Amino acid sequence: MQKNEVISNEESDVNDKRKEKLKKLFEYEETSENGKIVLVNKKVKLVQLTDCKEDREIYKTVTADYNTFCMENIHGVIRNSNLDELFNEEILHKNYEKFPLFACYNSRNELIGTFGSRNAIVVKNGNKEITLHELSGRLMKKYENSGIGSIADAVMGNYFTNNDQPFFFTGWSDKREYFMKVWNYVIKCYFLGSKQRYIDKTQSVDIGNQDFYCTVTFDGLFNQLS
């Protein structure tokens, strides 16, 4: 939008109504079941994944399905064929007790994917250290076109924002308009830029250019994210 562009009262009213509608769509109630964090939305239910056999199997089911997606679309799989080791890395990361990865279920109580923090990194802003969580959404192939993944993503964003926890995430460039419009109706995210990304740190599987977004921004942040 140009700086001198004027928004009419009618357009502003439409934007405000849309924002309120989306806020209601992405609202959630936080509760607890068997000692686990549970977030309940009208469309989805998210249950904290913990270090137990049942949750490992849930994680493996979703990740195996995601591996199939990777093979079909980017000709590679998640770097670690040992899913127990990958579970330890992506579930039991820094501060996972408060900001975990969640198993996600739809209104029919079907497992549809995992959403939440799969990684926590420390970045530096001058002499200050900031912990950033990387938000991840893995929707199982069967539910790719259901629209439910967008709701789960936004509920996650709300959860982290409501708990004053900054985060970043990545997305494909063809989804930029969605992220810039829909997300920013509810959660303020900054577009940091685009760069090549890999599934693993050894750069064996190139997934191409990814857009990076973050709830904070400062000079040098983009270079610290990979």
In a domain? residue 219 = yes
Q: Give domain status of residue 18, yes or no.
A: no
Burial 50-76 (b: 16+ CB within 10 A, else e): beeeebbebbebbbebbbeebeeeeeb
- Does residue 144 lie within any of the structural domains? yes
pLDDT band at 11 (very low <50, low <70, confident <90, very high): very low
Mean pLDDT comparison of 9-23, 118-132, 177-191, 206-220, highest-scoring range: 118-132
Q: Within a domain: residue 96?
A: yes
Domain with residue 109: its CATH number is 3.40.630.30
Residue 115 pLDDT level (bands cut at 50, 70, 90): very high
Average pLDDT over residues 132-153: 89
Domain assignment present for 81: yes
148 forms beta bridges with none
64-83 pLDDT tens trace: 888 787 777 765 555 556 88
The number of distinct structural domains making up the chain is 1
Does residue 9 fall inside a structural domain?
Answer: no
Instruction: Specify if 8 maps to a domain.
Output: no
- Domain encompassing residue 212: 26-224
Please state the φ and ψ torsions of residue 5, each to the nearest 5 degrees: -75, 135
The pLDDT of residue 9 is 41
With residue 197 as reference, give the H or E element that holds it.
strand 190-198
Number of Cα atoms under 13 Å in the Cβ half of residue 34: 7
Residue 82 placed within a domain: yes
